[in-house]
Amino acid sequence: MDRLLGRRFARVLAVAVGLCLAALLAWQGGLGRVDGSLYDWISRFGARDPRPDVVVVAIDERSLAQVGRWPWPRDQQIDLIERIAAQSPAAVGLDLLLSEPSSDPLVDQRLAEAFRRSGNIVLPFFTAQAGTGKVQAMLPVPPLAAAAHRLGHVSIDPDADGVVRSVYLREGPHGQMWEHFAVALLRTAGAPVPDPLPGNRAPPRLPSEAAGDWRRDHWVHVAYAGPAGTYRTLSAADVLAGRVPDDTLRDRIVLIGATATGLGDVYPTPWSGRHRFMPGVEISANVIDNLLSGETRAVMAQWLAMTLSVLLVAAVLPALWLLAPGWALAASAAGVAATVTVSGVLLLGQGVWFPPGAAALSIVAFYVTWNWRRLERAATYLVDELRRLRRHGAVDEPPSPGGGDLIDRRIRNLAHATGRLLDAQAFMSSVIESLPDAVLAVGQDGRVLLSNQAATTRFGTAAGKGAEMSGLLEGWALVGGGALTWPPSVEAGRFAECRDPSGRAFLFEYAPCAGLGEGDAAWIATLVDISALREAERKRDQAWRFLSHDIRSPQAAILALLDLHENDPDELSRDELLARIRRYVLRTQSLAESFVELARLATAPVQEELLDGADVLLDAADECWSLAQAKDIALRTDLPDGAAPLRGERSLLVRALVNLINNAVKFSSPGSPVECRLFSQDGNWCLAVKDRGPGIAPEEQARLFQEFSRVGGASAGEPGFGLGLAFVKAVAERHHGRVECDSEPGRGSEFRIVLPAASP
């Protein structure tokens, strides 16, 4: 009990520690790069059509080849801006570095004038880290910054693996925070901007923070529409050359930026695994698209991610100790897949990023730890079981170590010992099952623990495991008086004779034995069927009783005749005396022969041969013809047209029929017929003898075929020993058949020997 409680406490403690670790990982943002890779993979399932009102004017490789290497003269930039402004775009974002003044101040003035004429120019600014470690803004030169409609930051903050997945929509020193370049463009174009801005909020400002400390707020993950080049892109060379049709950029948000890989403004994104890196200007285009369509993404709150991770892990834990190892593995894999699926559904459906790495890693860790614990317990169990089996003698000596690891060797050793136990158990089960007598093992609660085949045959399926022994013995009675109950009233270890509800005789004995568990006790009860022995004793007593009476009776009559003749020789003539003595001797001889023949039939095998039933019936009728003629009785035979094949011993069948015909002649009135028929019925041959005698009363028909039982004839004064019909029944049964009788008082009787037909 203490060990069980200890194991349960250890299990609860392990589960609590594992869930706490899962919660801690989720609180700290998951697994970093692993979660980032999952984010990238899931994001690719959310590709969508880019907005047509966002256009990129790219300073690409073709522009550099036609116009010249970068940086272009600012006069060239003025020409590009004026050509774009001529098509009346909604806003123009110049995603170029303008933090250094031109060598000619007049050029900067002309560029500023171009900005003012356009009226919708948005300039970016970049951030850099000063020597003090603080972040500071790198603003455009003052004339250009003053001429621009708005300024916006284009800070790029890649994750730890270098992939750009998110941006901050607002950042800057406390009290003077700038909006993102994309937000500034939307406000310049007059497009709706979410208020408040979406994304994860920065924590409240701490009192220890200085007023100039750089802060970032409204952190959003970008839902990229696709790889680089997804948005409509016009080459700057085509714009400068006038090859762009009029009104192409009307009411569009135009972003001007470098896309040539040699200029360095390219970054890896979730789509960079299979395609080239994305220019910074296209990242801004994706942010604009997200804000216009309302598809910005945010990271799930820490407390909510922690709760969801713990719930996902806890949902898998019951499978680890309730299911088999294979199913537990499947459940763990399903738990990991479900965690990733939940993360994907939340990201693509709700725009909320739930890092699944913490929950997935915790599920895997739980599975590995739990199975290690299972393996350790299995190894300990194998060692303990082997020791226990050696103590009980199931293993004589440890088998040779052999190959394989430790668990394999222990499994082989236990399999060897278990095999020996199973062989011994099979042998004992075979011995118990083979016992001819009913054997039942009964527990202390009076229920059957084990029963052999003989018990099942005796009691039926009711003697199965769990049956009430008192119910099985219901209706049984002790020969000495009283009912046989459970627990028995007789002394253990001593035989008691009893009878079942049908009257069969049994010897009952029970004895204690060891139970299945330690300290348990059970009882072994046996029921020996002695019905055949008691029936043999009854027949023996009955035979001696009848033989002593029927054999002594003629002998006593002979002695009386001799005494009478000796006292008065003239009372009986010599011939009459000898005739009477002869009749009594023949009666005694007939009784002895009938008894011997019946005894021989019960033990000697039948000498079978192929017979014709018609020949058997005719032989029996011929043998009885003289007796019938003496009483003026006609023997009528009715035979089938074809052969009636039977298998059996001819002499026995003929004698059985002779007994039936003699009885029919004996009990028939002179002049009445006796019918002997042979006919087919249900695949059998019926040898029937019918008379017109007095018939047999229904109460006497039940003992017609019992040995030494005389019915009808005893009251009619007809001689008999009560063995003829018993002989007929024995012959029919030895030939796998049966004997039947139909009789009605005053209307005669019909006896039938029914035998199976044989193949010709």
Quote the pLDDT of residue 703: 62
470-489 residue pLDDT tens: 888 888 888 888 888 888 88
Higher-confidence residue of 246 and 413: namely 246
Residues 312 and 358 in one domain: yes
558-598 residue pLDDT tens: 777 777 777 777 777 777 778 777 776 776 766 666 666 65
Higher-confidence residue of 703 and 320: namely 320
Residues 349 and 445 in one domain: no
Give the lowest-confidence range in 103-112, 528-537, 715-724: 715-724
Quote the pLDDT of residue 252: 93
Domain contains 594: yes
Higher-confidence residue of 406 and 469: namely 469
Domain contains 591: yes
Give the mean pLDDT of 504-524: 78
Q: State the Cα–Cα distance between residues 601 and 579, nearest whole angstrom.
A: 33
Domain contains 641: yes
Q: Of 485, 503, 528, which one is at a domain's C-terminal end?
A: 528
69 contact partners, CB below 8 Å, separation of at least 6: none
Quote the pLDDT of residue 519: 52
3-class secondary-structure state, position 405 = coil
Residues 618 and 735 in one domain: yes
Give the mean pLDDT of 3-18: 67
Q: State the Cα–Cα distance between residues 151 and 138, nearest whole angstrom.
A: 11
With beta carbons less than 8 A apart as the criterion, state whether 543 and 535 touch.
Answer: no
327-342 as b/e: b if 16+ CB within 10 A: ebeebbeebbebbbeb
Task: Locate the DSSP E strands across 479-544.
Answer: 496-499, 505-514, 521-529
Residues 424 and 353 in one domain: no
Quote the pLDDT of residue 188: 93
pLDDT of 218 > 70? The answer is: yes
Where is 34: in which H helix or E strand?
A: helix 33-43
Give the mean pLDDT of 595-619: 74
The CATH number assigned to the domain holding 646 equals: 3.30.565.10
Residues 614 and 594 in one domain: no
Q: State the Cα–Cα distance between residues 310 and 18, nearest whole angstrom.
A: 9
With beta carbons less than 8 A apart as the criterion, state whether 234 and 285 touch.
Answer: no
pLDDT of 718 > 50? The answer is: no
pLDDT of 399 > 70? The answer is: no
Domain contains 394: no
340-351 residue pLDDT tens: 999 899 988 888
Number of compact structural domains in the chain: 6
With CA atoms as reference, report the closest residue to 679 among 625, 641, 624.
641
Quote the pLDDT of residue 167: 93
3-class secondary-structure state, position 52 = coil
> Where does the pLDDT of residue 713 fall: very low under 50, low under 70, confident under 90, or very high at 90 and above?
very low
3-class secondary-structure state, position 296 = coil
Quote the pLDDT of residue 716: 43
pLDDT of 93 > 90? The answer is: yes
720-735 residue pLDDT tens: 445 677 778 888 888 8
> Where does the pLDDT of residue 122 fall: very low under 50, low under 70, confident under 90, or very high at 90 and above?
very high
Can the peptide bond before residue 487 be classed as cis, meaning omega within 30 degrees of 0? yes
Quote the pLDDT of residue 717: 43
pLDDT of 284 > 90? The answer is: yes
Quote the pLDDT of residue 382: 75
Residues 357 and 454 in one domain: no
With CA atoms as reference, report the closest residue to 735 among 619, 618, 627, 650.
650
Domain contains 388: no
Q: State the Cα–Cα distance between residues 410 and 527, nearest whole angstrom.
A: 44
Q: Of 481, 497, 528, which one is at a domain's C-terminal end?
A: 528
Max CA separation in the chain (angstroms) = 190
Q: What are the angstrom distances between the C-alpha of 128 and each of 139, 148, 157, 282, 515?
A: 11, 21, 12, 21, 85
Give the mean pLDDT of 266-276: 79
Q: State the Cα–Cα distance between residues 737 and 725, nearest whole angstrom.
A: 15
350-382 residue pLDDT tens: 889 899 988 888 888 888 888 888 777 777 777
Residues 482 and 347 in one domain: no
Domain contains 640: yes
Q: State the Cα–Cα distance between residues 672 and 307, nearest whole angstrom.
A: 108
With CA atoms as reference, report the closest residue to 93 among 123, 114, 113.
123
Residue 688 has phi, psi (to 5 degrees) of: -115, 140
Residues 518 and 637 in one domain: no
125-139 residue pLDDT tens: 888 776 566 777 888
Quote the pLDDT of residue 89: 94
pLDDT of 90 > 90? The answer is: yes
Quote the pLDDT of residue 520: 65
Residues 681 and 659 in one domain: yes
Residues 88 and 167 in one domain: yes
Structure tokens given for 310: 């713990």
Structure tokens given for 258: 């470098």
Q: Report the percentage of the chain scoring pLDDT > 70.
A: 85
Residues 157 and 287 in one domain: yes
Give the mean pLDDT of 22-39: 81
> Where does the pLDDT of residue 388 fall: very low under 50, low under 70, confident under 90, or very high at 90 and above?
confident
Higher-confidence residue of 663 and 552: namely 663
Residues 277 and 230 in one domain: yes
pLDDT of 436 > 90? The answer is: no
The helix-helix angle for 357-391 and 302-322 (nearest 10°) equals: 20
Domain contains 387: no
Domain contains 383: no
Q: State the Cα–Cα distance between residues 685 and 754, nearest whole angstrom.
A: 6
442-458 residue pLDDT tens: 888 888 888 888 888 88
Q: Of 545, 570, 603, which one is at a domain's C-terminal end?
A: 603
3-class secondary-structure state, position 588 = helix
> Where does the pLDDT of residue 705 fall: very low under 50, low under 70, confident under 90, or very high at 90 and above?
low
Q: State the Cα–Cα distance between residues 401 and 408, nearest whole angstrom.
A: 10
Q: State the Cα–Cα distance between residues 159 and 40, nearest whole angstrom.
A: 12
End-to-end distance of the chain based on CA atoms, in angstroms? 77
Range of the domain at 410: 399-431
